[in-house]
Amino acid sequence: KPKGLEDKLSLSGLLNVLDGVIDCPGRIVIMTTNHPEKLDPALVRPGRVNKKLLLGHMGPKQVQQMIEYYCD
């Protein structure tokens, strides 16, 4: 298969899941990327993505706070 076709089929399948073609009540989907600017706009349009959160570089203080929060 040509590379472009492979990518579109994968995106198409993911969009079907996000749109509820496969019923998953109460689902939570978490997507991560290092390059949000490269995501297809169809993937991140309102209605598919309800919340965007930027997790930037953490300093030592933030790392310590996270460890204390989740491990204590």
Q: Whats the size of the chain, residue-wise?
A: 72
Choice among 23-27, 32-36, 50-54, 68-72 with the minimum mean pLDDT: 23-27
Cβ–Cβ under 8 Å, residues 39 and 33: yes
Calculate the average pLDDT of the chain: 82
What are the residue ranges spanned by the domains of the chain? Answer: 3-71
DSSP state of 3: H
End-to-end C-alpha distance for the chain, whole angstroms: 50
> Does this model's pTM top 0.85?
no
Q: Measured between alpha carbons, how far is 35 from 15 in angstroms, rounded to an integer? A: 19
